[in-house]
Amino acid sequence: MHYNLPSNYKSLLGVKETERAIKEIKDFFQLSLATELNLTRVTAPLFVLSGLGINDDLNGTERPVSFPVKAMQGVQAEIVHSLAKWKRLALAEYGFKRGFGLYTDMNAIRADEDLDAIHSLYVDQWDWERVIGASERNLDFLKKIVRKIYSTLKRLEFRMHDLYPSLSLELPEEIAFVHAEDAQARYPALTPKERENALAEEYGAFFLIGIGWDLTDGKPHDGRAADYDDWSTLTSEGHRGLNGDIIVWNSILRQAFELSSMGIRVDKTALELQLAKKGQDARKELYFHKKLLQGDLPLCIGGGIGQSRLCMYILRKAHIGEIQVGLWPEQMRAECDNAGIKLL
């Protein structure tokens, strides 16, 4: 395990205050986000059937937690990694029109996660999805939506500072935009994570565009599944990708801190290209992929915003275990205790 623990750390809020503040953050932010993006809250599944292509494959290596369903002749179900593809099916089934969409509380288990100060076995996020038109599948529209989300983050930060003055205001007025190819060109000697650290410290908050396509060194900035974000389409800036991450500078951990992964979703052309590039053409026969290729699913944009991550950032916490109850190695618990970090 490798993770950063700050020296001389002291939580700004006690445990009870923290619990009250977490509720305030979640209530305030989701209402603000829904208003900003025209989203309706819907309920969502904790598990889906295996073999339909509905679950999120993340980087393609993580194993979903699965189990047989006794009441359905032992058919296999799996706990979701995220709802990236389920949401698109729901947009179609519920009849959402262009400019409107949905959000939901997504709860997942990622058993293969490497545990550290910002990663746990349990993932909670606001998963959202919104119907768009063909004319909106471009970089300008992506940036417009990112700015709307960022405005909700700014609003939340001020709200919590107003309630708890010890929580400082740190987000810059504007979010910067940097393409992954430009980040690599600017810092050719740094690893992708080191580039993120450098950019986050410089800008305070930025959106890293184009995650998934190979950069000039032959490797992507980070892995992305082939069948939800569009990371292959050529843009007006001469790069590939209509997706990215919202990343801020975490002043407690002194590192880049991802709050959201999002993007314009694949259309038929992008899906076929990305499946071919990943060597996953066989997935075209799965339920979700067939519906998309047949034109049965709407064009859309969507993403996930980490709930515990956002609370951790706003409340200036040093470990995600200060926000959510989890399982942690005894060595980590001991090190956190020595550093003054109270894990729930």
71: Cβ–Cβ under 8 A, 6 or more apart, which residues?
none
Q: To 10 degrees, the CA torsion angle through 30, 36, 39, 44?
A: -30
Instruction: For residues 21 and 28, give the distance between their C-alpha atoms in angstroms, rounded to a whole number.
Output: 10
Q: Give burial (CB, 10 Å; 0-12/13-18/19+) of 56.
A: buried
80: tokens are 């979701």
Is residue 313 packed enough to be buried (19+ CB in 10 Å), middle (13-18) or exposed (0-12)?
Answer: buried
Q: Which amino acid is at 86?
A: W
| Separation CA 54–CA 86 (nearest Å) | 6
Residue 132, number of CB atoms within 10 A of its CB: 22
Element (H, E) at 292: helix 287-293
Q: Which helix (H) or strand (E) holds 107?
A: strand 101-109
**Burial class of residue 113, CB neighbours in 10 A (0-12, 13-18, 19+):** middle
Phi, psi of 40 (to 5 degrees): -110, 135
Q: Are 64 and 78 in contact (CB under 8 A)?
A: yes
Which of the residues are catalytic? 56, 110, 125, 245, 258, 261
Say how far apart CA 175 and CA 38 lie, in whole Å: 21
